[in-house]
Amino acid sequence: MYNDNGTGDAYMLLANGAQWTNESKGDYGYHGSSLKQLAGGEADAKAGNIFQKDSSSLTIDSYSGNTNIFYAHSGNGEAAENYAAGNTVIKGCGKRLCSIHGYR
**75, β-bridge pairs:** none
Do 86 and 80 contact (CB within 8 A), yes or no? no
Q: Which of 29-33, 37-41, 47-51, 84-88 has the lowest mean pLDDT?
A: 29-33
Q: What is the pTM assigned to this prediction? A: 0.81
**Of all residues in the chain, what percent carry a pLDDT higher than 90?**
41
Query: Would you say residue 86 has pLDDT above 80?
Result: yes
Give me the pLDDT at residue 48, please. Answer: 96
pLDDT in tens, 3-27: 555 556 888 999 999 999 998 877 6
